[in-house]
Amino acid sequence: MSQKLTAGGRFRKALAENNPLQIVGTINAYHAMMATRVGHQAIYLSGGGVANASYGLPDLGMTSMNDVLEDVRRISSAVETPLLVDIDTGWGGAFNISRTVKEMIKAGAAAVHIEDQVAQKRCGHRPNKEIVSQEEMVDRVKAAVDAKTDDDFFIIARTDAFQKDGLEAAVERAKACLDAGADGIFAEAVHTLEDYQAFAKGIGGAHLLANITEFGATPLFNKAELAENGATMVLYPLSAFRAANKAALNVFEALLNDGDQKAVVDTMQTRMELYDFLNYHDFEQKLDQLFAQGKNK
């Protein structure tokens, strides 16, 4: 009898079976269910997304480990699709990072990425970012790797050095993180396919994540283009969230301006579509069975 894979094991399996592995942002448990149903094999929880959607805050390092863990638990309870989680800078020093990794594993995460910005961080596609020294980033990675309670838990080192210091410095930093035990590299705010190719070559073909976020510094490259240039993972951190926000705003404005929702009802998910993704009727049938048993006593 084969042993059931851990969340980390499921992530590694998905990575081995997909070139590249698409990782889609799911802002809540229901989005995770929809992404899973249509066939996505890995999902993502953005730190900025947690701040924006769950707390109404900008992505400026204002949320805590426990804030993110709450959403991790909700998502991992709803689906078994492996979940990559943004842990920002790890919320402190070595002991804080260690606790973060252990808690993420307990909460059902499959992987995390930890970055090299200073604690007072900014969105990776905004100007005036500041990064810690290479030595400090390596220490962050070592603390994260040492804390693993599941050998298959996947740790990605994110570097913002490309935008700050250029390709050569970013590659050097990435190689140091890999030497410290990171399983892959997240190269943030890369501009061209040639840069991805050079980055992949520089890290010796190690796992490389391309962050294809809208309205940022990186063009919206196709997954095939990225795979051809060395990326093994492609991240879409907030694509569905942005689309949902635009749709919601359209509905709010229509209700206020028109006095009803008739003009926008065709843009909505139907009640039956909602029920289908939630397996609503399975729950309802279970209730019917329980009540039927009670009546027969």
Active site positions, annotated: 44, 59, 86, 88, 113, 115, 123, 158, 188, 211
Residues 14, 9: Cα–Cα separation, whole Å? 9
Annotated binding-site members: 46-48, 86, 88, 123-124, 158, 188, 211-213, 242, 271
C-alpha dihedral (88, 91, 97, 98), degrees to nearest 10: -130
Annotated binding-site members for substrate: 46-48, 123-124, 158, 188, 211-213, 242, 271
- Longest CA–CA separation in the chain, Å: 76
C-alpha dihedral (73, 76, 78, 80), degrees to nearest 10: -170
Question: Cβ–Cβ contacts within 10 Å for residue 285, how many?
Answer: 10
Residues 152, 15: Cα–Cα separation, whole Å? 12
CA 230, distance to chain mean position in Å, is: 20
**112 pairs with which residues across the strands?**
85, 155
SS3 209: strand
Residues 148, 152: Cα–Cα separation, whole Å? 9
Annotated binding-site members for Mg(2+): 86, 88
Residues 57, 46: Cα–Cα separation, whole Å? 13
Angle, nearest 10°, between helix axes 29-38 and 239-258? 120
Residues 4, 31: Cα–Cα separation, whole Å? 25
